[in-house]
Amino acid sequence: MDFYGRKNLWKFFLFLFAILIGLVTLFYTESFLRDLRNEEVKKVNQWANAMTFIQRADDQTNLALAIQIIQSNTTIPIIQTDANDSVINTNNLKHPRSNEAAFLREKVQEMKEAGNFIEVNFAPNQKNIIYYENSTLLTKLRFYPIVLLVVISLFILVAYFAFSGARKAEQNQVWNGLAKETAHQIGTPLSSLMGWLELLKMQNGDPEMVREMEKDIKRLETITNRFSKIGSQPALQKTDMLLSTKQAVEYLRNRSPKKIDVNCYLPYEPVYAEVNLPLFEWVIENLVRNAIDAIEGEGTIDVSLSSTDKNIQIDVKDTGKGIPAPKLNSVFRPGFSTKKRGWGLGLSLAKRIIEDYHRGRIFVADSIVNEGTTFRILLPRISF
């Protein structure tokens, strides 16, 4: 399992842990609310008993305790009706329409359907019904754990994205610094090589050797130029994509194993896009090199360019070992590599160059294990 696989596994366990905490919180809160509701039902029964006591009392009866019980209920909404559901009395109905008969009938029906009522017999032939519902406090508490979980989730989400963004910025800064330092380090021996090459020319060295050395030095200059551009917004220029793609492929064709055929299929008419040529050629070369590494033995690499009115499409297709489906979403992640000695940075940098710098797209168009892979680049096309 690679680094990102382990990282995703930890994320999965953290997600399960968060769900477990949420379920425990909801269970505990529901148990707490159930106890509160039972206490409120007891208060309603006490209220009903106090009302019954007052109804049955005579002039000599001390009503102080019953009145105190009735007055102590300041939170539980209550509607008292007769046997025919005609409203006799209300208590704690804090609603603008609490004095309207239609509203009271609706509330009585709601409470009856919820089963929130107590039948009280004041006399042998006199029955009242006490309807009630949860207090405002209990209703708020019922939604409290949900609101709490939402707030905590939003906080965790914001913190996660902030932390991820900070880490990504830090990683980008490290890689940018590494790239610029690499360009700087290459520059010193490159200048020396250029001096030795001039000395070799003055001493009438082998012309073929001089030409090949010039090619390699120009190659090193190109690489240095590419590394120096990492971390800064490169300048884009209108470029003939037919010619630039051909040059990138030709360079690698002459340096690829003889048993691998590197083909380039281009249209007859030039097509144009705004690109940074050194970086674009880097992407093509990286895809072709990866294709070469993916081919075990003999094989073929086809680089094709086509266009529509809006886009330029470049496909790099190989007959290599292919990419397993579970790994398709990981190929562009930094550190992911199927090679024993790979750093896993090539495709990550290619994605950054194409999508961040050139406003295009790069993705795996198709891949079949033991048959091959096709990488596709889409760039905005511009008119001549």
Rounded CA separation 374/71 (Å): 80
Cα-based angle 219, 190, 197 (whole degrees, multiple of 5): 85
| Single-letter code of the amino acid located at 144 | Y
Q: What percent of the chain has pLDDT over 90?
A: 12
**Mean of the per-residue pLDDT values of the chain:** 79
Q: In order of start, what are the domains of the chain with their CATH numbers?
A: 3-134 (3.30.450), 139-216 (no CATH), 234-380 (3.30.565.10)
The CB-side HSE value for 126 (13 A sphere, CA atoms) comes to: 5
Rounded CA separation 319/303 (Å): 12
Instruction: Calculate the CA dihedral of residues 273, 275, 279, 280 and round it to 10 degrees.
Output: 0
DSSP 236: -
In terms of average pLDDT, the best of 20-24, 60-64, 175-179, 262-266 is: 262-266
Give the pLDDT score at 1: 47
Rounded CA separation 46/69 (Å): 7
Residue 319 tokens, joined: 């007959």
DSSP 60: T
Nearest alpha-carbon partner for 199 in 182, 213, 183, 186: 213
Nearest alpha-carbon partner for 374 in 300, 298, 269: 300
* Cα distance from N-terminal residue to C-terminal residue, the chain: 49
Contact 299, 264 (CB under 8 A): no
b/e per residue 1-30 (b: at least 16 CB within 10 A) = eeeeeeeeeeeeeeeeeeeeebeeeeeebe
Contact 365, 376 (CB under 8 A): yes
Rounded CA separation 325/300 (Å): 22
Contact 249, 289 (CB under 8 A): no
Residue 317 has pLDDT above 90, yes or no: yes
Residue 28 has pLDDT above 70, yes or no: yes
SS3 label, residue 120: strand
Length of the chain: 384
Phi, psi (degrees; rounded to nearest 5) at 259:
-80, 0
Residue 377 has pLDDT above 90, yes or no: yes
DSSP readout, 271-314?
A: -EEEE-HHHHHHHHHHHHHHHHHH--SSEEEEEEEEE-SSEEEE
Phi, psi (degrees; rounded to nearest 5) at 115:
80, 20
Rounded CA separation 139/40 (Å): 12
Residue 159 has pLDDT above 90, yes or no: no
Give the pLDDT score at 357: 84
| Single-letter code of the amino acid located at 156 | I
Residue-wise pLDDT tens digits, 196-215: 777 777 777 777 777 777 77
Over residues 263-286, the mean pLDDT reads 88
Contact 321, 293 (CB under 8 A): no
Residue-wise pLDDT tens digits, 349-358: 888 889 888 8
Give the pLDDT score at 3: 47
Rounded CA separation 322/334 (Å): 19
Give the pLDDT score at 4: 47
H or E stretch including 47? helix 3-56
b/e per residue 198-236 (b: at least 16 CB within 10 A) = eeeeeeeeeeeeeeebeeeeeebebbbbbbbbbeeebeb
Give the pLDDT score at 287: 92
